[in-house]
Amino acid sequence: MATGDIDLVPKSPFKTILNFRDVGLSINSLQASVVLQEGRLYRSARVEPDDASLEDRSDLVETYRLSSIVDLRSKTEHIKQARKHGAGVSSSSLAPQSNHAAAAHLKIPNVHYHEISLNGKSFERALLWQLKWSSLLKLVILMIMGYRTEAISILGREVMQPRGLIGLGKDSLDHSRDEIREMLEVMAGSKNYPLMIHCTQGKDRTGLSIMLLLLLLNTPLQAISADYLASERELLPEMESRMVEISEVGLSEDFAGCPAAFVADLSDHINKNYNSLQEYLELTGVDRMMQEKIVENLLDRQ
């Protein structure tokens, strides 16, 4: 029987890789039975050199046999991380780099990267059109001048903050269907495992992605929620620096936490607006055959 006891969710075994865990082990611990394969699917916060030690990064490959990483961060986040590491990357929209170009030198050797900005163009447009015209104009000017963080802070204060994490999660489900399909296509490929999904904190975009996978595997909501909520505990060591990053984009401390109703409300949103998870996934372009491949890759059939 599934439990919501967050203490059963394994803590990160790493000193410098935050919010890392084996999703299969986490869910099996919460359900007190072997339901998912362990050592197949991992989740974490970012793993660049400024955040994770060389030893821990190497351990991902040598001990955990990591084959692939699905990186859900945006171009802005990649550029910021590359500049932090001294890459001298331009942030002007007049000199756009791909996520791959901005972060190439920060990657772990011998690991295949799938860079999928979960909150892509459709999601961005949906938020932008909620701005007042004057704010939209100011944002565009700031982006052209290369002040990406300042531009995003306008969107943060006027749109993202009022929507909240749960509201933005619903927006992701509604407007990031192409990116969700792309992510799930990776999950359907057996050669991509063992695989790790991460964003900046490994909390919300990663949490939504893991939620979709676990719902597909018929995991009880209580266990999915406990795995998601464990991120708040796992991210405590960087709370101060996380608050700085969050405030830079116009958001409050609410965005540093994990809303208790996140999983339940997003699951309810799928069922009310798309009838079922399976129908939602089909709408994104993930047909029943691909859904079954994902299940085969993650479920423990023994």
Cα end-to-end span (Å), the chain: 18
Output the pLDDT for position 91.
44
For residues 145 and 94, is the Cβ–Cβ distance under 8 A? Answer: no
Quote the CA–CA distance of 224 and 30 in Å, as a whole number: 9
Higher pLDDT residue, 103 or 18? 18
88 falls in which pLDDT band (50, 70, 90)?
very low
pLDDT (tens digit per residue) in 281-290: 999 999 999 9
| Residue found by looking up tokens 């060591």 in the block | 237
| Least trusted range by pLDDT, from 61-65, 78-82, 158-162 | 78-82
86 falls in which pLDDT band (50, 70, 90)?
low
pLDDT (tens digit per residue) in 11-23: 999 999 999 999 9
Quote the CA–CA distance of 79 and 90 in Å, as a whole number: 8
Count CB atoms within 10 A of the CB of residue 264. Answer: 15
pLDDT (tens digit per residue) in 163-192: 999 999 999 999 999 999 999 999 999 999
* Phi, psi for 282 (deg, rounded to 5): -60, -35
For residues 48 and 29, is the Cβ–Cβ distance under 8 A? Answer: no
pLDDT at 98 over 70: no
Output the pLDDT for position 104.
57
Quote the CA–CA distance of 180 and 286 in Å, as a whole number: 9
Token digits for 284?
């994104």
> In this structure, is the dihedral angle defined by the CA atoms of residues 141, 147, 148 and 153, taken in order, positive or negative?
negative
Count CB atoms within 10 A of the CB of residue 62. Answer: 11
Eight-class DSSP state of 51: T
pLDDT at 3 over 70: no
pTM exceeding the 0.85 threshold for the entire prediction: yes
Token digits for 233?
């505990």
Output the pLDDT for position 96.
44
